[in-house]
């Protein structure tokens, strides 16, 4: 909800990316599999998880499902549209009611303007969001809502056997002897060395010298000579892992000791900056990173078992068209706020703040489109230093545009509530709906 209030255009771009990806996938596989757009949306949401040997491996993406199915490693899921709808928390009735309420609100605003009654700034802002709500519902009409459990897709048993045979064959043909099982609990004493005997039984035809016994003196252990970390020993030789080459004369405990060179004021400033990063910089960075994800999140990142919130499959051939939709929606969203250009405001300053903010919200997307074109041209510059300088300049301008856009959006959200303290008298009047009906 916070992202929709601050930048609904980005949410529409995210919805458009998922819509076009689902539409392209349906066109490609509907004839052979009978899948609908609901199945495609369910796949994009992370509705199918690959299982191997009873354990979840990763979420199936579009490319994973296509490649594994073509290779015969999995069977194409046979879940029906009704089964997916049973998992969804929304249906066509609830969506229709929301659209009906939104349409009725838009009709009321038009009727008040036709009668010459005052339309408040809050109604204008709501009208802008209502218009974008219709666009979002169009893109996500077939998308299931709030599905919590995925459908497991098992890797075929034959593929499990082939994988195991391939691993065993690879290990057999290799000259490296696999490591034997070692106890999970390792005892570190003395200087912290761990001695692992990889092959305690001597190989036939070879002679081996037994390891010298470990002599215990108090709580210390006299270990064999050190061996470099990168040396590989075979046969019955020992591998010595020495994580701490310096002998320990006493128990070492990691404790934080403040630098004596720092005075009290410097330590206070360090703690203050740390708290500022934890409570201000880090949350703000995470919040703003979502806008970038809405535009270009195409991978599962570091968690293969979870789909990112603003994920959408790669869809390179429609990127230019989706950006065009994004720019058009942004301009229309800002232009709707310009309807209140001559509305009643409590003070002259509030009126001009509204006008400037409306111009910025509707005009900055045009500047962003122009800068995006210049950024694409900068890639073709042959001189690397000139290209980097040019791109840094564009990034600085883009940062300034984003800053002013956020300030303008905040102003357009605060001013409507401030205007409620002194509304025009006609704002309390209701239109005569009977006059709109044909009568004798």
Q: How far is CA 158 from CA 53, 59, 64, 338, in A?
A: 12, 21, 18, 65
Give residue 92's pLDDT: 81
pLDDT tens, 181-233? Answer: 444 444 334 444 444 444 444 444 444 444 444 444 444 444 445 545 444 44
415 CB contacts (<8 Å, ≥6 apart)? 121, 350, 353, 354, 357
In a 3-state reduction of DSSP, which class is residue 254?
coil
pLDDT at 25 over 90: yes
Q: Is the pLDDT of residue 47 over 80?
A: yes
Q: Are 132 and 102 in contact (CB under 8 A)?
A: no
CA–CA separation, 292 and 280 (whole Å):
19
The token duo for 435 is 């006059």
d(Cα 412, Cα 62) in Å, to the nearest integer? 40
Q: Which residue has the tokens 């003395």?
A: 190
Nearby residues of 167 by Cβ (< 8 Å), 6 or more positions away? none
Query: What pLDDT shows up at residue 214?
Result: 44
Bridge partners, residue 221, by sequence:
216
**Per-residue pLDDT at 48:** 93
> Which of residues 233 and 81 earns the better pLDDT score?
81
Residues 416 and 121 sit within 8 Å (Cβ to Cβ): yes
If you average pLDDT over residues 268-277, what whole number do you get?
82
Per-residue confidence (pLDDT) for residue 261, from 0 to 100 = 57
Does 225 or 80 have the greater pLDDT score?
A: 80
Q: What is the pLDDT of residues 281-305, one digit of tens each?
A: 888 788 878 888 888 888 888 888 8
Span 261-270, mean pLDDT? 75
Rg of the chain over CA atoms, in angstroms?
A: 33
Sign, CA dihedral 410-412-413-417, equals positive
pLDDT higher for 103 or 232? 103
Helix, strand, coil shares of the chain, percent, nearest 5, are 55, 5, 35
Yes or no: say if 61 and 313 are a contact pair by the CB < 8 Å rule.
yes
Q: What is the mean pLDDT of residues 390-405?
A: 81
Of 350, 360, 321, nearest in space to 415 by CA: 350
C-beta separation of 12 from 136 below 8 A: yes
% of the chain surpassing 70 pLDDT: 73
**pTM score:** 0.68
Residue 362's alpha-carbon distances to 110, 119, 408, in angstroms, are 21, 21, 10
């Amino acid at each position: 909800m916070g992202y929709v209030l601050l930048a609904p255009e980005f949410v529409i771009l995210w919805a458009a990316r998922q819509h076009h990806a689902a539409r392209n996938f349906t066109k490609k596989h509907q004839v052979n599999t009978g899948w609908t757009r609901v199945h495609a949306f369910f796949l994009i949401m992370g509705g199918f998880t690959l299982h191997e040997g009873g354990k979840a491996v990763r979420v199936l993406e579009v490319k994973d499902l296509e490649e594994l199915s073509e290779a015969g490693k999995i069977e194409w899921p046979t879940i029906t549209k009704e089964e997916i709808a049973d998992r969804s928390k929304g249906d066509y009735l609830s969506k229709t009611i929301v659209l009906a309420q939104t349409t009725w609100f838009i009709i009321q605003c038009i009727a008040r303007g036709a009668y010459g009654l005052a339309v408040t700034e809050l109604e204008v802002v709501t009208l802008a969001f209502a218009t974008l709500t219709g666009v979002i519902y169009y893109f996500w009409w077939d998308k299931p809502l709030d599905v919590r459990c995925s459908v497991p897709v098992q890797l075929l048993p034959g593929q499990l056997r082939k994988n195991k045979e391939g691993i065993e064959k690879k290990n057999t043909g290799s000259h490296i002897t696999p490591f034997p099982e070692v106890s999970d609990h390792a005892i570190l004493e003395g200087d912290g060395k761990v001695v692992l005997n990889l092959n305690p039984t001597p190989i036939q035809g070879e002679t081996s010298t037994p390891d010298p016994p470990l002599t215990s003196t108090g709580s210390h252990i006299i270990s064999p000579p050190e061996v470099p970390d990168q040396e590989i020993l075979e046969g019955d030789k020992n591998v010595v892992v020495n994580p701490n080459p310096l002998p320990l004369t006493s128990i070492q405990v990691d404790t934080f000791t403040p630098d004596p060179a720092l005075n009290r004021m410097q330590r206070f400033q360090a703690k203050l900056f740390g708290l500022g990063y934890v409570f201000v910089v880090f949350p703000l960075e995470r919040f703003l990173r979502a806008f970038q994800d809405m535009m270009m999140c195409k991978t599962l990142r570091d968690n293969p078992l979870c789909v990112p919130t603003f994920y959408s499959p790669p869809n390179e051939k429609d990127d230019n068209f989706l950006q065009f939709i994004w720019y058009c929606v942004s301009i229309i969203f800002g232009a709707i706020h310009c309807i209140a250009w001559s509305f009643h405001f409590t003070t002259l300053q509030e009126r001009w703040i509204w006008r400037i903010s409306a111009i910025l919200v509707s005009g900055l997307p045009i500047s962003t489109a122009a800068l995006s074109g210049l950024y694409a041209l900068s890639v073709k510059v042959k001189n690397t230093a000139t290209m980097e300088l040019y791109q840094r300049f564009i990034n600085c301008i883009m940062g300034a545009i984003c800053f002013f856009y956020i300030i303008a959006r905040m102003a357009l959200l605060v001013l409507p509530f401030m205007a409620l303290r002194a509304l025009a008298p006609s704002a309390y009047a209701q239109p005569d709906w009977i006059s709109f009906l044909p009568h004798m």
